[in-house]
Amino acid sequence: MTDNFYGEVLADHNLHPLHRHELPCATHVCKGLNPTCGDDIELHLDIHDGVITDGSFTGLGCAISQASADIMLELIIGKSPDEARYYASLFHKMIEGKISDEELEELEEAGALQNVSKMPARVKCALLSWNTMEKLLNGGDS
Amino acid sequence: MTDNFYGEVLADHNLHPLHRHELPCATHVCKGLNPTCGDDIELHLDIHDGVITDGSFTGLGCAISQASADIMLELIIGKSPDEARYYASLFHKMIEGKISDEELEELEEAGALQNVSKMPARVKCALLSWNTMEKLLNGGDS
Amino acid sequence: MKVSEKLISKADFPVFEKYKDLVYLDNSATQQKPRQVLERVEKYYREENANPLRGLYDLSVKATDAYENSREKVREFIGANSTKEIIFTRNASESLNLIAYSWGRANIGSGDEILVAISEHHSDLLPWQLLAKEKGAALKYLDCDKYGEYKADDLKKALTPQTKIFAIAQISNVFGRVNPIKEFAGICHKNGTLIVCDGAQSVPHIPVDVNDLDVDFLAFSGHKMLAPMGIGVLYGREELLEKMPPFLSGGEMIEYVTRDGATYAELPHKFEAGTVNVGGAVGLAAAIDYINEIGFEAIEKRENELTELAFNEMKKIPYVNIIGSEKAEDHHGILTFTVEGVHPHDIAAIFDADNIAIRAGHHCAQPLHQHLGVQSTTRMSLAFYNDEEDIKRFIETLKTIRRRMGYDG
Amino acid sequence: MKVSEKLISKADFPVFEKYKDLVYLDNSATQQKPRQVLERVEKYYREENANPLRGLYDLSVKATDAYENSREKVREFIGANSTKEIIFTRNASESLNLIAYSWGRANIGSGDEILVAISEHHSDLLPWQLLAKEKGAALKYLDCDKYGEYKADDLKKALTPQTKIFAIAQISNVFGRVNPIKEFAGICHKNGTLIVCDGAQSVPHIPVDVNDLDVDFLAFSGHKMLAPMGIGVLYGREELLEKMPPFLSGGEMIEYVTRDGATYAELPHKFEAGTVNVGGAVGLAAAIDYINEIGFEAIEKRENELTELAFNEMKKIPYVNIIGSEKAEDHHGILTFTVEGVHPHDIAAIFDADNIAIRAGHHCAQPLHQHLGVQSTTRMSLAFYNDEEDIKRFIETLKTIRRRMGYDG
Ligand SMILES: Cc1ncc(COP(=O)(O)O)c(C=O)c1O
Ligand SMILES: Cc1ncc(COP(=O)(O)O)c(C=O)c1O
């Protein structure tokens, strides 16, 4: 298992995602597309009284985009949209290689994606779910 | 005068052309254009009973095209259209560097243009009047 | 049969000197350049560079010769009748757009049909899609089976009296299969339909003769055949090109311009607006020389051997699925595949970690992927300068993919 | 003010090493290339070559970086706000055609007017002529005086509520005069008219800032500014480009394609169909580096000094007539002239015999020649790498022209 190309955390979230399923009655749904590779994601969020009470994703993507989506949902479920946006801003900082150690800690497992900042071709994969979430919170799609 | 860039014959035909004038009642007129440089020529021929009885040219062109036109007219006035075509074929041969010594002699003063075969950019200038004549004899323009 | 004058040698390619460990298997995307091509281009800029065609001085005559001799070399290479039929463009995409804009806008009207093979690269699809939309014509597809094969009968059925043009690649950049262009051209012409052949993947790999194939148009790119980027070719039958209106306009493609109008230059210049890319054309000619010196016989032999080796090894891996034909000889150096449970991006990333360059995605053929029911795939594509060691390295890594993604075994 | 880091040196240009006796004065047609540019392009092909933008491996990332860094360099060079505004094309001609096809076909209708300066190069004239014909719009000309000057008042009078676009070069390739683009842009915008600036002759020679000039589009060619052939630039204001439909279509310029339609990629990729010319872009970036290292201050100083020297000497020869302004400082390295009684072709041929490269003809500006009432002219055009010796040789030969054509004295 130490042989894992992307490391334990990502491999685990990719092979055994917690949040990869339908969420038929979600209050919000938004689609994201990564044109470079044709990957797509559908993000479902249940938002009630200013709290993201549940969330899931569907769609096809590489390990990085899938793990990133799963980890993101793990982080934002139970939080407010503003907190979710804050995490998104931290995540962007991390990918740009501009994050402080304290901030990195706040990102919890998402920190496992830090190395993506060294893989320019994969940055879009890691960001897909985060960008889709921001689009959703800003009123994108339905 | 030995300093003449194109040699005596061409300089002379360029500066003092015999056939550069209007020919208002010519039976045949044909225009030629050298698009590379914008040079144009208007060739006038009087053809009666199968003989080119008179001819002239007007239009603007470089020394090579002007001298070539003047020398050509010198050669074909008094000849039949078929003979004129024959000279044209010899002239083409010369420009392509494929002419025999005997044939070159037949071309008389036109032989002064032999060096043009070594100036690819000027080939079109030398050929302008000859091509226009062939077009005329084959029924081009009026 | 002519014996090759030159042996295949990876040492001709400086990139492999720089990166000794690199296995380059993305040749369908673009090829690496031999030093002979780079040196020829550099020589042009050192000794022959000028604006050609209109110059009245020695250097410009040299540039003109360099350019027109390159055109003649291309003409000979694809067996065209005349250099008037050889238009230099930027790449195959531009060549195809030129046809769609110039021929298309003059000849396609509402009610007409355009037939396109479903495996076409976007560059041989979008220009037709846009044309059809603009003109109210119908865009129809000819579908292939899962082995990538197009059937003559299907083509005959798809053609109607309204079908004005049929666009198909000689070799698809996903399947690697050679389509029977000559047969299809015959069927099209019997129906009064023109045929456009996208030769981007065939011209670099097999001998192509436009007269033998009897195609109306052929498009290809220099950069996929050892030449620099920025140069491509459109072949068109003279009668067709003659009647087509100009596409891009500007310097060098006119005879005469006035305030109110213009007359256009003779072929091929009518379609080459602005200062031409002599350096690129010279590079393409040098690439053709290089290919000719090795010879297509040797090139095909090597590419087929390597394809077969890779194909057979891939077949042994149970979770690897090759797209297209089940016969190695149908693949001509292009092996597109999926690995069960692993996304093509991750596959490519792992290959990259092992210094092997392959491609993942839809390979600019999304409608084909939709047709095949796969979202994206991974592709390895080889060239004659690859060797057995490259294939071995490729197979070794391929075998590790699932394990490295966290799957057992 | 920044002191130049690098001195002007002809020794950087290999062509002058090869031809020690060559005087190259056809720089407006195309420039020679310094070894720094050639080496940078060669390095790209040796160390960074791959198909960029979609590759998931190291070499392709290198190619993508090389390409996008070049775009950023161009952006900075012309002061654009964003790399989204920088489209790589083949040459200035293609850039201008792109505007006419994409913006033009979407925005010009019957009854509209297109205004073009009479001194425009065919590449900034024919695309508008064709557009006007196709759409039933009126093509109008803004005339200059015999000094090559355009007056603001004339422009104001020429603009009507129907004038949708005005096309003018910043520097005409015949006059060499700098047109007051900034002022004209203001006048146009007040009238709701867009302004296209042909920068083919200005961008290589003077600092150009698109925001300061306030132009809507700017087109130029790499080969006229030390870069290889086959690469050009279109700058367009982002809001305009954003709304324009694609021009060429194919690989790399889409987001998503289905059988029935496509969504297009973001700027700038929307306008770059097919495999891009990374080698060319990298060469252009190296050319910009080279120019920046010398600095426009030094470049302009040198070019103006040489222009003045040539101008003053030419003025002393009674049978030489300079086209355009009577002031040397209005010529910016371009001196177009006639010699009484001698055809421009013969002039060029004599110069060539003395190993001096100049151009003769209509310089792709036939309507201007008609307007000026001359059939053709001779042009010498210099670059900063020319020197006094070049000018002396030019003048010496010029003095002999009439004698060598057989005239007395
Ligand atoms: C003013 C001007 N505009 C446009 C062009 C066209 O440039 P290109 O031939 O590189 O497309 C030129 C050069 O020929 C020019 O001088
Ligand atoms: C089959 C096919 N057609 C067309 C193209 C387009 O070639 P280019 O990108 O060089 O224009 C390609 C390559 O990308 C291809 O594989």
List, for residues D72-130, the tens digit of each pLDDT value: 999 999 999 999 999 999 999 999 999 999 999 999 999 999 999 999 999 999 999 99
Tell me the chain A residues in contact with residue D269 when contact means C-beta distances shorter than 8 Å: none
Whether D3 maps to a domain, the answer reads no
CA-nearest residue to D13 within chain C is C46
* Residue D3 in this model has a pLDDT that exceeds 60: no
Among C353, C360, C406, select the one facing A37 at the smallest CB separation.
C360
Distance between CA atoms of residues D336 and D323, nearest Å: 5
Pocket test for ligand 2, best of C89, C93, C120, C359 (most atoms within 8 A of CB): C93
User: Does the beta-carbon distance from D249 to C126 stay under 8 Å?
Assistant: yes
Any D CB within 8 A of A139 CB: no
Is residue B104 within a helix (H) or strand (E), and if so which, with residue range?
Answer: helix B101-106
Distance from CA of A41 to the nearest CA of C (A): 13
Per-residue pLDDT tens over the stretch B89-128: 999 999 999 999 999 999 999 999 998 888 888 898 999 9
Phi, psi (degrees; rounded to nearest 5) at C335: -125, 105
Residue D100: closest CA among D128, D122, D129, D126: D128
Which burial class, exposed, middle or buried, applies to D294 when counting CB atoms under 10 A from its CB (0-12, 13-18, 19+)? buried
Any C CB within 8 A of D293 CB: no
Q: Are residues D110 and D225 in the same domain?
A: yes
Tell me the chain D residues in contact with residue C133 when contact means C-beta distances shorter than 8 Å: 261
Q: Are residues C299 and C284 in the same domain?
A: no
Output Rg (C-alpha) for chain A, integer angstroms.
Answer: 14
Q: Quote the ligand 1 centre to D28 CA distance (angstroms).
A: 8
Q: Which residue has the tokens 């950019």?
A: B121
Q: Quote the ligand 2 centre to B104 CA distance (angstroms).
A: 53
* SS3 state at D235: strand
Q: Binning pLDDT at 50, 70 and 90, where does residue B1 land?
A: very low
Q: Are residues C327 and C358 in the same domain?
A: yes
In this prediction, what percent of chain B has a pLDDT beyond 70? Answer: 96
User: Which residue in C144, C188, C197, C364 is the catalytic one?
Assistant: C364
Distance between CA atoms of residues C139 and C107, nearest Å: 15
The domain total for chain D is 2
Strand partners, D321: D338
Q: Are residues C261 and C152 in the same domain?
A: yes
Per-residue pLDDT tens over the stretch C346-359: 999 999 999 999 99
Q: Are residues D15 and D64 in the same domain?
A: no
Phi, psi (degrees; rounded to nearest 5) at D15: -60, -30
Q: Are residues D154 and D200 in the same domain?
A: yes
* End-to-end C-alpha distance for chain A, whole angstroms: 41
Nearest CA to ligand 1 atom 12: D200
Whether C1 maps to a domain, the answer reads no
Question: Taking residues C258-262, what's their average pLDDT?
Answer: 91
A and B touch with 3+ CB pairs <8 Å, answer: no
User: Does the beta-carbon distance from B35 to C256 stay under 8 Å?
Assistant: yes
* Residue A142 in this model has a pLDDT that exceeds 70: no
Per-residue pLDDT tens over the stretch C218-257: 999 999 999 999 999 999 999 999 999 999 999 989 888 9
State the pairing for strand pair D217-221/D194-198. parallel
ipTM computed for the complex: 0.94
- Among residues D291, D307, D335, the one where a domain terminates is D291
- Tell me if C172 sits within 8 A of C148, measured CB to CB: yes
Question: Taking residues C28-49, what's their average pLDDT?
Answer: 98
In this prediction, what percent of chain D has a pLDDT beyond 90? Answer: 95
Q: Binning pLDDT at 50, 70 and 90, where does residue C5 land?
A: confident
Q: Quote the ligand 2 centre to C64 CA distance (angstroms).
A: 28
> Which active-site residues of D does the annotation give?
364
Q: In 10 A of CB D280, how many CB atoms?
A: 32
Q: Are residues C156 and C189 in the same domain?
A: yes
Among D56, D65, D255, select the one facing A33 at the smallest CB separation.
D255
Q: Per-residue DSSP letters for C379-395?
A: EEE--TT--HHHHHHHH
Residue D231: closest CA among D100, D83, D53, D41: D41
Q: Which residue has the tokens 């860039």?
A: B5
* End-to-end C-alpha distance for chain B, whole angstroms: 41
Q: Are residues D224 and D99 in the same domain?
A: yes
State the pairing for strand pair C334-339/C377-381. antiparallel
Q: For residue C123, give the CATH number of its domain.
A: 3.40.640.10
Q: Which of C174, C340, C343, C401 to mutate to test the interface with A (most CBs of A within 10 A)?
A: C343
Within 8 A by CB and 6+ apart from D257, the residues are: C122, C125, C126, C366, C367
User: Does the beta-carbon distance from C406 to A39 stay under 8 Å?
Assistant: no
Whether C2 maps to a domain, the answer reads no
Distance from CA of A33 to the nearest CA of D (A): 9
Within 8 A by CB and 6+ apart from C318, the residues are: none
Any C CB within 8 A of D345 CB: yes
Both tokens of residue B94? 């010369």
* Ligand in closest contact with the CA of D169: 1
Residue range of the domain that includes B6: 1-138
Tell me the chain B residues in contact with residue D360 when contact means C-beta distances shorter than 8 Å: 37
Per-residue pLDDT tens over the stretch A33-66: 887 667 889 999 999 999 999 999 999 899 999 9
- Among residues C264, C291, C318, the one where a domain terminates is C291
Q: Per-residue DSSP letters for D350-371?
A: HHHHTTEE-EEE-TT-HHHHHH
Tell me the chain C residues in contact with residue B122 when contact means C-beta distances shorter than 8 Å: 56
Amino acid letter at D299?
A: I
- Among residues C265, C291, C317, the one where a domain terminates is C291
Residue range of the domain that includes C324: 10-30+295-405
CA-nearest residue to A60 within chain C is C375
The domain total for chain A is 1
Given the CA of residue D91, which atom of ligand 1 is nearest to it?
A: 11
- Helix A81-95 and helix A63-76: axis angle, to 10°? 140
The beta-strand segments (E) located in D155-252 are: 163-169, 194-198, 217-221, 232-236
Per-residue pLDDT tens over the stretch C202-220: 999 999 999 999 999 999 9
Q: Quote the ligand 1 centre to C275 CA distance (angstroms).
A: 7
Q: Are residues D266 and D299 in the same domain?
A: no
**CA geometry: angle D44, D50, D51, nearest 5 deg:** 125
Q: For residue D19, give the CATH number of its domain.
A: 3.90.1150.10
Q: Quote the ligand 1 centre to D133 CA distance (angstroms).
A: 22
Per-residue pLDDT tens over the stretch B63-87: 999 999 999 999 999 999 999 999 9
pTM of the full predicted structure? 0.96
Q: Are residues C131 and C58 in the same domain?
A: yes
Is residue C162 within a helix (H) or strand (E), and if so which, with residue range?
Answer: none
Among C346, C350, C375, select the one facing A38 at the smallest CB separation.
C375
User: Does the beta-carbon distance from D359 to C56 stay under 8 Å?
Assistant: yes
Whether C5 maps to a domain, the answer reads no
The chains found to touch C (3+ Cβ pairs under 8 angstroms) are A, B, D
Among A35, A120, A122, select the one facing D256 at the smallest CB separation.
A35
Give residue D1's pLDDT: 45
Dihedral of alpha carbons B71, B72, B73, B75, sign: positive
Distance from CA of C409 to the nearest CA of A (A): 11
User: Does the beta-carbon distance from A121 to D265 stay under 8 Å?
Assistant: no
Any A CB within 8 A of D254 CB: yes
Q: Quote the ligand 1 centre to D123 CA distance (angstroms).
A: 6
- Torsional class of C120: left (φ above 0), alpha (ψ -120 to 50), beta (otherwise): beta
Within 97-126 of B, beta carbons closer than 8 Å to C belong to: 120-122
Any D CB within 8 A of B4 CB: yes
Supply the mean pLDDT for chain C.
Answer: 96
Distance between CA atoms of residues D294 and D288, nearest Å: 10
Distance between CA atoms of residues C292 and C181, nearest Å: 23
Q: Are residues D45 and D159 in the same domain?
A: yes
Q: Binning pLDDT at 50, 70 and 90, where does residue A120 land?
A: confident
Q: For residue A80, give the CATH number of its domain.
A: 3.90.1010.10
Distance between CA atoms of residues C348 and C379, nearest Å: 9
* Residue D46 in this model has a pLDDT that exceeds 60: yes
Whether D101 maps to a domain, the answer reads yes
Distance between CA atoms of residues D222 and D288, nearest Å: 9
Q: Which of B8, B12, B37 to mutate to test the interface with D (most CBs of D within 10 A)?
A: B37
Buried/exposed code over B37-48 (b: 16+ C-beta within 10 A; e: otherwise): bbbbbbbbbbbe
Supply the mean pLDDT for chain A.
Answer: 92
* Ligand in closest contact with the CA of D90: 1
- Tell me if D376 sits within 8 A of D358, measured CB to CB: no
Give residue A36's pLDDT: 67
* SS3 state at D257: strand
Distance from CA of C56 to the nearest CA of B (A): 6
Pocket of ligand 1 (CB under 6 A): C 251, 274-275; D 28, 91-93, 121, 123-124, 169, 173, 198, 200-201, 221, 364
Within 126-165 of D, beta carbons closer than 8 Å to C belong to: 126-127, 129-130, 133, 139, 141
For C2-16, C327-341, D134-148, D199-213, which range has the lowest pLDDT when averaged over its residues?
Answer: C2-16
- Tell me if D56 sits within 8 A of A122, measured CB to CB: yes
The chains found to touch A (3+ Cβ pairs under 8 angstroms) are C, D
Q: Are residues D203 and D239 in the same domain?
A: yes
* Residue A1 in this model has a pLDDT that exceeds 50: no
* Residue D141 in this model has a pLDDT that exceeds 60: yes
Indicate whether residue C92 lines ligand 2 (CB < 6 A).
yes
Distance between CA atoms of residues C178 and C262, nearest Å: 43
The beta-strand segments (E) located in chain A are: 28-34, 39-48, 51-58
Both tokens of residue D260? 């029935």
